[in-house]
Structures are given as structure tokens and as C-alpha cells.
Chain A
Amino acid sequence: MASSISTAVPAPQQAAVSTQDELTQKIPTQPLQVAKRLEKFKTTIFTQMSSLAIKHGAINLGQGFPNFDGPDFVKEAAIQAIRDGKNQYARGYGVPDLNSAVAERFKKDTGLVVDPEKEVTVTSGCTEAIAATMLGLINPGDEVILFAPFYDSYEATLSMAGAKIKCITLRPPDFSIPIDELKSVVSKNTRAILMNTPHNPTGKMFTQEELNAIASLCIENDLLVFSDEVYDKLAFEMDHISIASLPGMYERTVTMNSLGKTFSLTGWKIGWAIAPPHLTWGVRQAHSFLTFATSTPMQFAAATALRAPDSYYEELRRDYVAKKNILVEGLNSVGFTVFPSSGTYFVVVDHTPFGLENDVAFCEYLIKEVGVVAIPTSVFYLNPEEGKNLVRFTFCKDEETLKSAVERMKQKLSKK
């Protein structure tokens, strides 16, 4: 993968006189080049780290997808759908049964009753739900508030929509929301707040108090909220609260989620956005031109998945808590400062005890000398300096893998 994009091709030679002389006009032409919006796009760190990891045979605790597979009952539902011939275009905004299943699940989780036909849109993963929400609801020049560190596609997608980013940094040890700072960045140009809870990369979960404060701010200033809740079922230390369920909030919130993390099927790309009809309208317009429709057999399977009994979710949580304990105990014993993570399958640690100058250097060292992959968090900040002490580990791996990684670190990583 190219690590940089050349933005211009050398200006071509004057075109040879063609048979269509009429076409030749004395008008200056631009050099061929990609769109200016690409200037803000960095290569993703994940691919870089993954290539390095493979080269060194490192255990990958960097990329956020499981090395175990999804449940059989969901896979079988997809297979059945393929065999039943459900292989052509689905309705653009979702197979009706999936829209219903999403609405049912949302009601169970939040108590909110939504219309599956008018308020649910199925997308190719939560990534596309975010892209469609931005493009459908944000105008060039609108201000959008982000919390750093943030999932790295937010910044790029916002720039695709031409938004101006206002960033609030969450800081260790508990990454709590600085409410006063948040209030201070709201202006008359602010259109929306983009939030992610449970939060990637820190594992922080927004508390009731924090959500109340954000809600008041939004209502006072007539702001929208785009809430990325893909890890809502991986909530360990406290209950997940959807901001849409707070008074006065549903009408101004787009709640986004997906199948991938909850059901360990990250490659299926089934996501959704739940929003009141007037906001759903915008999301659907953009979605219909970004991907047009979402993969059909997987949608049928997703409907089955979402109707899983509570026992599935309880077991999921139990398994992940066990994995988390292995990793966190291991990281603590090795000498990292491990920050508390209430949800997701990530933990963020301070690597400075090991004497490397910044997070990228530490991660490279960790791969080459120790044989373990972590992700440098500086890519999740607008200002990379703010993340240089932190790296992110994931525990969405089987227990053997986690134990091996911990072993390697115990043996080879020493404090300075």
C-alpha cells in the first residue's frame, strides 16, 4: 500500500494534433490530480502495523477483530439465505425483517419504540452508517465536535463532508468528559457532536452525568448527536446508556451500531443507523449513493442474530471479561500503567516506563524485539503529540493467544 499519495501528475505534453481539430482550443488545462480532500487522509496505521507484524511473526493485539469466529447459528442462517436464493439486491434501506429485528433489539435495550420502516437504515457496517450520516446531514462549513482519541475514520469522513472539526481531548487516567471545555467550543456554527460509547480506544463508557450534560447542551443549542455504539454489548463495568433514550434527545440523535463486534463477524459488514424520520431521510439519501444496498444473505442472518436470547449476550460478556483479566493482569505485571477500561475490547496503557521516545517507536520496538503488536494511539488524535505516551491493546483474541502475548512481554520487555 502506498504510504503517500502523489497529488499531481507532471503536466502532459501538448496533445498531438488529433483528427478532431475542433476540439483543440487554447484553454489551459489542469494537471491531472486527485481531489484536495485527500490531503487530510493519512494511510491507516493498522495496515502498516499488520505488515510489520507478519514480517516479524508477532502476535497481533493491534487490529480490533477476533481471531475466533462467530456463532454457528448465525453462520447457518447466512448459508440458508444463500441457498434460498436471497442473492439479489435487497431493499436499499434494509431487508424488512432486519429492520424489524433492529427495532426490536433497540426497544429491548433502550425502551424506545421506533418504526423499522421509517427510522432504521441498514448499511455496510457502522463505518458506512457514519459516512452516510455525515454526508447526509452535514454541510461544508458546519462545525462538528469530536472527542479525541477517536476512531481514525471519523476525521477523514468529516473532511469528506467538508465539516470543521472542533476537538475535545479526553485525558488519562479516566478519560472523563471536560464539560466546561465542551461548552466553550459550542458556537452558532456547531451542527453536531460525534460521540462513541463504549469508547474506542480507551474503553471509557460515558456516564449518566456526562450524557445528561451533553444532552442539555444539545437541547439548548439545537445540536444533533451522532452516537457510535458498536461496542454496546461489550459493556463490563457499567450499563451502556444510549443518549437517544434521554429526554428530548431521540429527535436529534442518530444511533449507529453493527453486527460485527457483538457477533464476531466483522467481515460481514452489516451495520445500521436509527434516527427519527427527518434525519433518517438524509442518512438514506447518502447511503443510497454510497453503496446502494447491503449484502442480502448477511442481512437475513443478522435478523436471526439480533433475536438471540439474553444468554448469548451474557456468555459473550463473561468470555470477554475473562480475556480482559488475562491481558490486564499481564500488562500490569509487565510494568505498564494500565488505565481502567469499562467496555469495548480495548485497553489503553502508558508505555513510557520502557523508555521509548513515543508511541510509534514503542510499537515498532514491541513488534521487532518482543513479537507483540499494539497500536500507537497518536493516530487517534488531531494533534498526535497528545497520544505519544499511550498505546492500545486488544483482547478480542482467544485465551491462548493472549497468554502467549503476555508471556512474550514478560520475558522480553524490561523497564528502563
Chain B
Amino acid sequence: MAAVQWKLKQAADDKFCNDNAAEGRRMAEMEKLSLVAKALTPSPIQQLSYLAQRYNAINLAEGFPDFPAPPHIKNAAVSAINSDFNQYRHVQGICDHVARKMKEMHGLDVDPLTDIVICCGQSEAFAATMFAIVDQGDEVIIFDPSYETYETCIRLAGGVPVHVALEPPNWTLNLDKLKKSFTVKTKAIVLNSPHNPTGKVFTKDELEIIAGACQTWNILAVTDEVYEHITFDKESHISLASLPEMQKRTIVTSSLSKTFSVTGWRIGWAIAPAWIASAVRNIHIRITDSAPAPFQEAALTALSSPPAYFDSLRSDYESKRDCAVNMLAEVGFKLQFKPKGSFFVFAPLPENCTLSDVEFVEELIKQAGVVAVPGCGFFHTTLCEENSSPAALSYQRRYIRFAFCKSEDTLAAASRKLSKLVDAYAILVSRVRAIRLGRLVSKNSCFKVNSLISCYVAHLAILLLAQKSEHSFK
């Protein structure tokens, strides 16, 4: 899933390669696509997904659990199917529960009859919202890095995404950058918190800045709060809608998926003032008409889960986070920023590593049998700020996203594989030091040992050498 990312390039001019008939035919066929569809191309990340499959790699890339969904919720779905809840339905009870939760968590008064739209996942809720509020040429601000889908939904609706960079290493919000991104065409801002891929949870202060900007410029806010129940270190998720004057201009989107480990059920919602919710509903009805009926029914059970469920969700994910962070630290990642929410760690490559993020993940797959997502898919080079030189943006090729929404067994296995890599490296480094420089030669090439030791990538090459000379390593 998460492996599939699409990078937008400039919409192609209509140039036909007259000389090449096959190319011409291909271009002619491409003409049949809409302009937006034409601009989308698969990224190298898809190739990594295939590589991972080939190497049977442990998957810390995909943003969904490999452990089972909670039994009480599965039973509710089974029961719904057996009880004939299988025709088109709108289960109003979901709206009642969601309204109650908004009140409990954020003190918001939401009218379950008019303010909530049940959709096929947060994905559809977000898409429907964009179609409901974005006109041709409207600008929508997104914080960078971001989940790729936001941008494309905006474009599909005729809008223009405007990316504002959060600043590494702590992904801080820069007020100057934010204010520079507003124009007369700005219609809305997108806020994902807790944040994919960084694991950042926007603070009260940051939310106040964003809220202030929304009010000054009179724009809408669209939030993605799917990780709302996954926060750590006693950090609480605060909904932007709960800030003063924000409820009337905010569309909150969320879903069952991450909270209840049922990403494949497609039950989500949008919450907004009635006049906006009604527009979102009108669009939603034309996109899918309704969400899967038996899972709507099961959602009632899920959303009635006792506080203990949410507490153990949080504490389970917090231990997984700690496990992932430790595992990465042992392998040489220096994590200045620990995730405070979501189930991702966004790890910067070690300073002495000269590989790009994609190259590194390729090596990780081949050498350690573990896969993660290169961060480049979440970054954008067209940022709303003065300094977008390649040097200034070099950090965008330096991050890897690891998912820890995995069972303890999976995380333990990943940890073992990664530490084997480290052990092997430690053994080899000590061996190499004992060998006279310059005498280390493989069958096909000669390595300069100094640069080998200093370069993380060559650690893996040493491994290869070790395998060849030692006959067995694993």
C-alpha cells in the first residue's frame, strides 16, 4: 500500500514523437486521459515494493498493522452480515458516537444529524471535502513533508497545492514561511496531526498560529486526524476545530482504520458545520453513495469501546515506538526527533552515509531483508519560500520512514536482522583494521579501506566481502 506513491510532474505539452510510431500511438492513447491523470507517474518507490517482495523482506514500510483486528469488532461485522445488514444504509448511530467523542475529547458541540458525513474511509472524506470546497485555481496550503494523496485530491478538484516546509530536525512550524504562503487565492489549509510521516503532534502554540492565520485570511481548514488516538509520552491530540472561532471554518476528517486496525473496512467521516457538511455529503453520494453497510454496523461497536481500549492502544503503540526507536539507534540512526504520535519514525540517514534515501532502502532490503519507505515521496521541491536551491533541499533525500504498526514478533525479527548487520560490520571493521591497508582485494575490484570504514554504504560491501571469504555469515 504505502509503497505506491505518485510524483506529480509538470503537465505534459502535447508533443508527438512523429518519428516513432509506437511512441506516437502511446502518446495518442495518453491523450485519452484527463490532464491530471496524465501528469501522474509511478515513482521508484513502487520498484522497491517489488524488490521487497522478491527478498521476502520484513515490511516496515506499509502503514497498516500485521496483527489482527480486535475480536469484538470483527464479531460485530460478522453478526451484521448474518443479520442482513447488507443493503444500502446510512447508520445514524455512527454520527451519534462521533459527536459524543468530539465532545469528550475536544469539548465540541457537533450536531449528529447535520454535521457528520459517513464516507468510505478518511480517503473519501478528504476527496469529497476537496471537491466540496475547492474551485478551479483555488490555492490550498499543505505542510511539507506530507502524505501524497492530499496534493492530488486538490489537483483533481482544480485546485493548486502550496507546500510550506516544516523545518528539520524537529519539523517546526515557521511563522514567516506560513505567512508568505497566503495569497488572495488561498481557499484552505490542510493539517495532518498526528503527522504522517514525521510522527509530529502539532502543539497548542502551533495550532494557535495556524488558527490565527485561518481567521485573518478567512480560509477553511481541513484536518486529517486518523492517528488521533495514537499519541505518546502523555501528549494529547488537540483538534484544530476546538480552538476558538475554528469550528465554523474547519472540516475534520478521520476514520476507524488506524484506531481499530481495520484499514481495509473503509469507514470514515467528515465533521463540519452543516452548510459545509451538506456539500461534502452531496459530493460523497456521487462518488460512492454509501460506505459498506456491515462495517457501518460494526463501527457502532468499535466506537462504543470502553476507555480501556484506547488506553491500551496507546500504551501498546508506545512500546512499539520505543522498540523501533531503540532498534534504529542501534543501527546507527541518530534520532533527534522522536515521534509523539502516529505509528511512524522518520529517521534521518547517518551523516556519513553518502547514499540517497532510495539507494539506502534498496541496500536495506538486499542486505538486511527489511524494507522501509524512502522519505522523498513525502517531500516537494516546489516550496513556498525563497531558498529552494538543491543544497537547501538536500535534506529531502535524507529521511527514511519506518512503520511500527507491527506485531512484537515482526519488530523483534526486524531488530534481529538489523543487529546482525551491525554485528557483522563490527566484526569486519576489527578484522579490516588488522589487515594491512591496501591488501583487501575482492575478485573483481579493489576497495580503499579508509573510505570503506568511514562510509556506511561500504559497511554493506564489507559484508559481501565477508560472505565471500568466510563462506558463512548468517
Name A's B-contacting residues (CB within 8 A).
1-2, 5-6, 9, 12, 15, 18-20, 22-24, 27-32, 34-38, 41, 43-44, 63, 65-67, 69-70, 75, 78-79, 82-83, 85-92, 124-125, 127-128, 131, 135-140, 153, 156-157, 160-162, 224, 264-269, 278-279, 281-282, 285-286, 288-298
Contacts and interface: CB of A to CB of B under 8 A. Distances in A.
A35 to B, nearest CB: 5
B87 A127 contact: no
Given A35-B131, A78-B81, A131-B287, A1 B264 contact: no
A153 B132 contact: no
Interface string B255-267: 0000001111110
Enumerate the 5 nearest inter-chain pairs by beta-carbon distance, A residue then B residue, closest first: A267-B293, A296-B264, A278-B29, A29-B218, A292-B123
10 contacts: A6-B275, A30-B218, A34-B132, A35-B133, A35-B279, A85-B68, A85-B69, A87-B262, A88-B66, A124-B124
Given A43-B282, A88-B264, 11 more contacts: A30-B218, A38-B282, A89-B263, A125-B288, A161-B34, A267-B294, A278-B29, A290-B288, A293-B1, A294-B120, A295-B265
A18 B215 contact: yes
Contacts of B65: 88
Most central of A20, A85, A86, A292 by chain B CB within 10 Å? A292
Interface in B155-200: 156-158, 175-176, 179, 182, 184, 187
Interface in B179-230: 179, 182, 184, 187, 209, 212-213, 215-220
B461 to A, nearest CB: 35
Interface in B135-167: 135-136, 149, 152-153, 156-158
A79 B262 CA distance: 14
Most central of B34, B65, B135, B279 by chain A CB within 10 Å? B34
Interface in B117-137: 120-121, 123-124, 127, 131-136
Given A32-B220, A127-B287, A128-B288, A291 B264 contact: no
Interface stretch (B35-43, B345-353, B366-374, B445-453): B35-43
Interface residues of B, number: 90
B337 interface: no
A82 B74 contact: yes
B286 interface: yes
B78 A79 contact: yes
A289 B287 contact: no
Contacts of B212: 18-20, 23
Interface string B236-279: 00000000000011000000000001111110000000111011
Contacts of A268: 86, 292-294
A82 B282 CA distance: 31
B89 interface: yes
Given A36-B135, A296-B264, A282 B89 contact: no
Contacts of B69: 85, 87
Interface of B: 1, 4, 6, 26, 29-30, 32-37, 40, 62, 64-66, 68-69, 74, 77-78, 81-82, 84-89, 114, 120-121, 123-124, 127, 131-136, 149, 152-153, 156-158, 175-176, 179, 182, 184, 187, 209, 212-213, 215-220, 248-249, 261-266, 274-276, 278-279, 281-283, 285-295
A139 B87 contact: no
A5 B68 CA distance: 42
A32 B87 CA distance: 37
A156 B279 CA distance: 12
Given A267-B290, A268-B86, A285-B6, A38 B279 contact: yes
B266 A291 contact: yes
B153 A289 contact: yes
A153 to B, nearest CB: 5
Given A82-B78, A282-B37, A124 B279 contact: no
Nearest to B273: A9
A89 B1 contact: yes
Nearest to B265: A295
Given A1-B278, A79-B78, A79-B81, A20 B209 contact: yes
Most central of A23, A36, A75, A90 by chain B CB within 10 Å? A23
Most central of B158, B179, B288 by chain A CB within 10 Å? B288
B266 A293 contact: yes
Nearest to A81: B264
A162 to B, nearest CB: 8
B206 to A, nearest CB: 12
Contacts of B157: 35
Given A5-B275, A291-B124, A131 B286 contact: yes
Nearest to A34: B279
Contacts of B74: 82-83, 87
B210 to A, nearest CB: 11
Given A20-B175, A293-B266, A139 B34 contact: yes
A197 to B, nearest CB: 20
B379 to A, nearest CB: 19
Contact of A1 (B77, B87, B281): B281
A23 B177 CA distance: 11
